[in-house]
Amino acid sequence: MATVETARLDELRMTFGGTLIGPSDPGYDDARRIHNAMIDRRPVLIAQCRNTADIVDAVHFARREGLDISVRGGGHNVAGRAVIDGALMIDLSPMRGIHVDRDAMTLRAQGGCLWAELNREAALHGLATTGGAISHTGVSGLTLGGGLGWLMAKHGLAADNVLAVELVTADGRVLDVTADSDPDLFWALRGGGGNFGIAASIKFRLHPMPTVTGGLIGHPIEKAGEMLRFYRDAAPTVSDDLTVFAALVHAPDGSGMKLAGLVVFHTGTPEEAERDLAPFKEWGSPIMVEVGPVPYPVFNTILDEAYPHGLRNYWLSAFTNGLPDGLIDTMVERFEQVTSPMSGIVLEQFHGAVTRVAPAETAVPHRDEGYNLLITGVWDDAAADDANVAWTKESFAAMTEFFSGGRWLNYLGDDQGDDAVRGAYGANYDRLAELKRRYDPENVFRANHNIAP
């Protein structure tokens, strides 16, 4: 593994305001650990930044030393590109500042913030913006990758609510990127991932957010096929206020019992929520209906316990061509063979505001009404890696004929190639590649789902 000479490291320490951690330093193993326990890589140096100036210093240092750069925000991404063997990891996790402008209904969050922190701060003012479906996801990584979440039917993706990005470029410049200052780069940052620089902070548009209504509805697994067919018929009729995800999962009580479930989320008045949710609550003979009024930041934690830190994760996802019987039957068959009581198959509904943005308006091309199918392989024993990865891959392969070719960027794993990356960027890939050549011609930022310049 590459090493850094002490003298040059001491020179960096003279200006660097954060913490520099090498392989022999206390805390190194904790600092390189991320959400997915399958990722066990050893950077040559971890630069834990306190501010934008630290990011700039770290970029300059890596360029001088000929070190690859990886960037850690929340460390949640399943591919684990935040940490690379022999690289300099620029760790933004200490940068957690959040400022809300209540009158302007905007919020600026630094690059290490988590959605739970952003949601909490915005909620003090009765406001919110679209964030992740899991609250301990990082704000910057999720947003740069598009940012699907519970509010996307009402207010679009996280990327659709971005107003500005404070960006550190490959040559160490600091840009305040807006639609006016640099419309091309602003376009690319809303869905182009980490290809164009390091987001030191992001400014978001906020929306009024009273108490929402939502929760879980669980059915016996024997009714999975019937429930998914009901979902196929009912979900396309819902208003922008209602989002419904369907899933084949295990009971949240840790019993390992399999369930066919619906996660419902409504942003309207209690009366509107009662009316719109009635078909979903009343269908069949549910064994669990835990649906009611809840503050939005609390609802955003509803899936947290299903995806805790420190477990082993292997995920695959793709957009579907509708929900034909063949796909539903295959989902049920594959879940019958699931190898871990923590794994599942999820359908994420795309409708409403997220679909009323043109595919070329941002770098995110996925604007059709429909569903993203996500297979989450999750387990805790390294000895079971082969079996769980195989189940995920075999399940994905069994459903391939029902996929449209589109892929969600934030769900791409570490072993998926150019076809998957092109599926994530779709028809926007060529424009993104041209902008990559303009802003990062040497591909300094390549520890990501890379767009080669």
Q: Residue 239: what pLDDT?
A: 97
At a CB cut-off of 8 Å and minimum separation 6, what does 77 contact?
34, 35, 36, 138, 141, 410
Per-residue pLDDT of 355-390, as tens digits, reads 999 999 999 999 999 999 999 999 999 999 999 999
* Domains assigned to the chain: 6-91 (3.30.43.10), 98-208 (3.30.465.10), 212-418 (3.40.462.20)
**Residues 329/401, Cβ–Cβ less than 8 Å:** no
**Residues 81/60, Cβ–Cβ less than 8 Å:** no
Q: Residue 202: what pLDDT?
A: 98
The model's pTM: 0.96
Per-residue pLDDT of 413-444, as tens digits, reads 877 778 899 999 999 999 999 999 999 999 99
- CA dist 210 and 295 (Å) reads 7
Alpha helices in 20-151 (DSSP H): 28-32, 52-65, 115-123, 139-144
Low pLDDT (below 50) residues in the chain: none
> Which amino acid type is present at position 431?
R
Q: Residue 348: what pLDDT?
A: 98
- CA dist 296 and 120 (Å) reads 9
- CA dist 331 and 346 (Å) reads 10
Per-residue pLDDT of 140-177, as tens digits, reads 999 999 999 999 999 999 999 999 999 999 999 999 99
